[in-house]
């Protein structure tokens, strides 16, 4: 049975493991809404199916799908992917799913943030979002993991951790008045400490140009391992992304992590500016309450939006002119993982990428102390 706990992870000795720590599995949601995904979401469904099948080569994958789409999704997915019925408003599991924490015994629990569709009625992307709000709790029930309900509007894509006490976030997103206007920087840091177990928060400035989430960190930069950060970096100095990445570079070099280390920053090429075509925009239904898709609009494209699986990196393929260089950069960063690219423009058209549509459930592994090592994943 899943319990909702009144305590906080930090009080109970839990903290968020890094994405590069071992996973028990990965969750996604099925893209369905025709006012975000063109052509009734069919091209996006093919792209999501390819992402899911690729991740399933490395770890167990589960996808949540509505009743109406269950049969078609089952046909589109390999048997290796588990499909469960789950209502949702859109398909961004990173943001609506649980952020898992683990303790030294290897017990895993989930943090269920408040979700307001990236800004609520003040800049949010759609209304209503009540089904999305329930996704994290449902995933935790299916996984039989206990839940902390966090008093903070937050999305999984708005944070990265190194698993050793450091978090990476952006001011543009976390200090946006459309998330937690009652909390300042210190209040947000306190909640991140209580719910993720982090001791040091590194604040970058803005996210990727035109990122409709309000500047999620997961499109801009991430930890490749403790002490090493990967940052999106455009070739062209005239690209407005250049000043943003340069500012991030300077802040990262000035920062220390929770263990007092300086960070090594590795630049991953950004694609050249990509825009939505008139044909792509025309395939998206206009709907009141949903952000419209406009021809010519710059897409928030970044190779940093990859997923770290057990033994693999699943990266977005965005532009033939830069895909190979980005893949080579990721191979150097992750020499012991297999780097696999998946065509991801259809996911990008919906406003995010592979990292945004996935959420890992950590394995949780017991930390050896003086006594015998326990093997149980979730002893109750
Ligand atoms: O960056 C993410 N984690 C999510 C992107 C959401 C885009 C919504 N249209």
- Strand 307-309: give its sheet, edge to edge: 307-309, 312-317, 338-343
Per-residue tokens: 162: 């190194």
- Going from the Cα of 372 to the center of ligand 1, the distance in angstroms, rounded, reads 43
Nearest-CA residue for atom 5 of ligand 1: 352
* DSSP secondary structure of 149-165: EEEEE--GGG-EE-SSS
Distance separating alpha carbons of residues 214 and 300, to the nearest angstrom: 11
In the reported structure, the alpha carbon of residue 90 is separated from the centroid of ligand 1 by a whole-number distance in angstroms of 10
- Phi, psi dihedral angles at 11 (to 5 degrees): -65, -30
| Chunked mean pLDDT (size 10), the chain, 380 residues | 95 98 98 97 98 98 98 98 98 98 97 98 95 98 98 98 98 98 97 98 98 98 98 97 98 98 98 98 92 94 98 98 98 98 98 98 82 44
Closest CA to 334 of 360, 297, 309, 358: 309
116: which DSSP letter? -
**Ligand 1 mean position to 353 CA, how many Å?**
7
CA distance 320 to 195: 40
User: What lines the ligand 1 site, CB under 6 Å?
Assistant: 36, 92, 94-95, 125, 157, 212-213, 216, 218-219, 350-352, 356
Ligand 1 centroid, distance to 102 Cα (angstroms): 25
> CB within 8 A of 47, min separation 6: which ones?
342, 343, 344, 345, 346, 347
- Best of 95, 96, 120, 169 for a ligand 1 pocket test (most atoms within 8 Å of beta carbon): 95
Q: In what order do the strands lie in the sheet with 81-85?
A: 81-85, 61-65, 23-29, 359-362
Can you tell me which atom of ligand 1 is nearest the CA of 355?
3
Query: What whole-number distance in Å separates Cα of residue 148 and Cα of residue 31?
Result: 27
Q: SS3 for 341?
A: strand
d(CA 304, CA 48): 18
Q: What is the pLDDT of residue 95?
A: 98
Tell me the best of 48, 94, 123 to mutate to test the pocket of ligand 1, counting ligand atoms within 8 Å of each CB and taking the most.
94
Atom of ligand 1 nearest to the CA of 352: 5
Task: For residues 76 and 52, give the distance between their C-alpha atoms in angstroms, rounded to a whole number.
Answer: 11
Please report the pLDDT score of residue 370 as a whole number.
57
Atom of ligand 1 at shortest range from CA of 219: 1
Q: Ligand 1, closest atom to CA 95?
A: 3
CA–CA separation, 307 vs 286, rounded Å? 31
Ligand 1 centre to CA of 97 (Å) is 12
Query: Whose C-alpha lies nearest to ligand 1, atom 9?
Result: 351
Length of the chain counted residue by residue: 380
Confidence at residue 172, expressed as pLDDT on a 0 to 100 scale: 98
222 tagged catalytic: no
Residue 275 Cα to ligand 1 middle (Å): 17
- Ligand 1: nearest atom to the Cα of 291: 9
Residues 6+ apart with CB under 8 A from 237: none
């Amino acid at each position: 049975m899943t319990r909702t706990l009144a305590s906080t992870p930090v009080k109970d000795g839990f903290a968020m493991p890094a994405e590069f720590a071992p996973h028990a599995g990965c969750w996604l949601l099925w893209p369905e809404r025709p006012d975000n995904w063109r052509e009734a979401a069919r091209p996006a469904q093919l792209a999501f199916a390819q992402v899911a099948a690729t991740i399933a080569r490395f770890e167990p994958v589960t996808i949540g799908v509505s009743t109406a789409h269950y049969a078609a999704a089952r046909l589109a997915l390999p048997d290796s992917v588990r499909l469960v019925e789950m209502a949702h408003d859109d398909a961004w599991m990173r943001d609506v799913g649980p952020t898992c924490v683990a303790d030294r015994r290897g017990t895993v629990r989930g943090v269920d943030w408040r979700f307001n569709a990236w800004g609520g009625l003040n800049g949010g992307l759609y209304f209503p979002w009540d089904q999305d709000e329930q996704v994290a709790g449902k995933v935790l029930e299916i996984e039989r993991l206990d839940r902390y309900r966090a008093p903070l509007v937050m999305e999984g894509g708005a944070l990265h951790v190194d698993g050793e006490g450091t978090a990476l976030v952006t001011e543009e997103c976390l200090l946006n008045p459309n998330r937690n206007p009652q909390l300042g920087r210190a209040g947000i840091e306190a909640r991140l400490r209580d719910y993720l177990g982090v001791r040091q928060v590194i604040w970058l400035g803005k996210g990727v140009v035109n990122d409709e989430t309000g500047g999620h960190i997961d499109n801009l930069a991430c930890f490749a391992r403790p002490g090493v950060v990967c940052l999106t970096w455009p070739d062209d100095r005239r690209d407005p992304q250049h000043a943003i990445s340069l500012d991030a570079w300077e802040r990262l070099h000035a920062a220390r992590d929770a263990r007092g280390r300086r960070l090594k920053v590795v630049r991953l090429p950004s694609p050249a500016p990509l825009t939505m075509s008139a044909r792509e925009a025309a395939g998206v239904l206009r709907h009141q309450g949903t952000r419209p898709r406009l021809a010519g609009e710059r897409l928030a494209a970044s190779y940093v939006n990859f997923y770290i699986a057990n033994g693999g990196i699943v990266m977005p393929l965005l532009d033939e002119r830069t895909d190979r260089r980005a893949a080579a950069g990721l191979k150097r960063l992750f020499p012991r993982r297999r780097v696999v690219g998946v065509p991801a423009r259809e996911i990008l058209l919906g406003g995010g990428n592979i990292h945004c549509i996935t959420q890992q459930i950590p394995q949780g592994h017991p930390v050896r102390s003086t006594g015998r090592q326990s093997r149980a994943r979730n002893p109750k």
